[in-house]
Chain A
Amino acid sequence: MQLKSLERFDDVTASQVIAAAALAMEPGEQAIEGVSRQAVDDLLNEIRKTLNIGSADIGADAKNKIDNVLSDALDKAINVERLTAAAKRAGSDGKLLTGAYNISFNKFHFKNQFKPLGEREGFVRSMIKSSVERQDLDVAGNFGNVPYFVDEKFGSPTIFTYFWTKNKSKAHWVIIQTHRFEENLVVEAVWRLVPGMFDLRGASSPRDLLVLFANKFGKNIRIGSDVGKFLGPHKIDGTEIKLFAVPDIYTATAGGVVYPEKDSFLVLNAINIQNPPGVIMNNVYCVDVLEYRAALVEEFGHRWLSDHG
């Protein structure tokens, strides 16, 4: 709806008048200081007149119609480019609510690693949307003061958990690891944790579950002088990372990651840093897929790998 009463204002003032009108429709909401009451009344009167709603009509239907016009006007009050940029920024920062993200899959990994483990894209999507918990991590970790930029390939990690109780299978936790970039969530890994296999008492976050998982099914990894099955933040100078998976050696570069051979699945988060150039790696673990697959079969039976989800 074209609102003529706003034409005399600049964009900022117009948005404030619309907001003040929107709040004036709600009992108990306070007026916005500095916004002309006359301008608010003029706007509400114009909307009422256009919608053919009497000035004394304060019924639910009338309010709903006016609300819709004001809501639409608020959407248009802020410049589209600003809103688009804000959505991307909020997405990268992990501020967007889960339903607002576009979910996609790292197709190569999903097809080659997770489909053979019984995972299905539709199931994973629905688990993300109805997840019990979500944890957004900052790759920079302890290196938070180092200037860095997140690129689309690596993004920042978000971990979802869902407690799966359906089917005749054993109740267990599903951990879905994604990387987020702008408004996109790319699924990188999906793991199942059957509570009986782990001591969950000390776990208080999705990342804690991931650490427990890696400690059970992971291979040792060495970065610099540190060796472990789940490694936290490490800053590596230069644009090339040397990542060692004992006993084999894998190499990851700032431009891409070379994944280990078929029976291992390496997961890491990385961001590029500048001045001096380098890479920060975090949440690094490498799953022994054969061992994990054997555990799935033992817990759920052979059919699990082909017909669940």
Chain B
Amino acid sequence: MANSPITAAQAILTPEPIMLWSTGTHLKHYLQTIFGGRKHYVWCSPNFEGDSVGRYSVGANPAPSSDPATIYRQLHQAVTKQDRHDPKIASQAKTLKALAVAWHKEGKIDADARDEMIAIVKGATIRDFRPIIYAIPYVLVRGRVNTVPRKSRASHEPEFRIFDLDESEFQLIEPVPCN
């Protein structure tokens, strides 16, 4: 059997990382589980924290908005402080409601599911935006990791995303509960 062609992401991710990391919110994970057919769309990085790798390594200088550790800390702080107006949380709520409309337009969900999804986001409490970490073994997703076009990236560092991460392909971690 012929080998699969090397993807752009594979070319960058050399040597292969053991894990990919992503930070999301509990609410987003929940909605993708209920309405997204248990398939998850995530942005991910071979490093959980850019500062933890050598300064010349790939992924050493991510923008804060792309660094899983920084996103985790920002969300954790906002939830702990009950800051409903935190820009990241407001942006997430807006995006999830927009996705409900988009998924309906694309025929992925029906009108009732769209309305329920929006109702759930509207009714969500600040605690529902608590951060969770996706730990993704690279070997499971190797051929499905996509590079993010430069115009969509916050820095020159490469960024990656997976459009259809299955529930069996990651572990969720919630290291420090937001109290």
A11 to chain B, nearest CB (A): 11
A77: nearest chain-B partner, CB-CB: B101
Cα distance, A60 to B90, chains bound together (Å): 12
Binds A, one of B3-11, B147-155, B164-172: B147-155
Are B97 and A74 closer than 8 Å at their CB atoms? yes
Interface assignment of A89: CB less than 8 Å from any CB of chain B:
yes
**Total inter-chain residue pairs, C-beta < 8 Å:** 120
Cα distance, A99 to B122, chains bound together (Å): 11
Are B106 and A63 closer than 8 Å at their CB atoms? no
Cα distance, A70 to B112, chains bound together (Å): 21
B159: nearest chain-A partner, CB-CB: A28
Interface assignment of A96: CB less than 8 Å from any CB of chain B:
yes
Are A16 and B105 closer than 8 Å at their CB atoms? yes
A77 to chain B, nearest CB (A): 7
Q: Mark B109-138, 1 if CB is under 8 A from A, else 0.
A: 001101110111011110110000000000
**Dominant secondary structure at the A interface:** helix
Cα distance, A26 to B122, chains bound together (Å): 19
Q: Which residues of B contact A280 (CB under 8 A)?
A: none
**Dominant secondary structure at the B interface:** helix
How many chain B residues touch the partner (CB < 8 A)?
37
Q: Which residues of B contact A242 (CB under 8 A)?
A: none
B90 interface neighbour in A33, A67, A83, Cβ under 8 Å: A67
Binds B, one of A17-25, A187-195, A218-226, A244-252: A17-25
- Which residues 73-107 in B have Cβ within 8 Å of A in the complex? 87, 90-91, 93-95, 97-102, 105-106
Interface assignment of B48: CB less than 8 Å from any CB of chain A:
no
* Among A27, A67, A68, residue most surrounded by chain B Cβ atoms (within 10 Å): A27
- Interface pairs A-B: 5 shortest CB-CB: A100-B123, A99-B125, A86-B115, A19-B101, A22-B98
Q: Which of B's residues lie within 8 Å of A, judged by CB?
A: 27, 30, 34, 43, 87, 90-91, 93-95, 97-102, 105-106, 111-112, 114-116, 118-120, 122-125, 127-128, 148, 152-154, 161
Q: Which of A's residues lie within 8 Å of B, judged by CB?
A: 15-16, 18-20, 22-23, 25-29, 32-35, 60, 63-64, 67-68, 70-71, 74-75, 77-78, 82-83, 85-87, 89-90, 95-97, 99-100, 129, 183
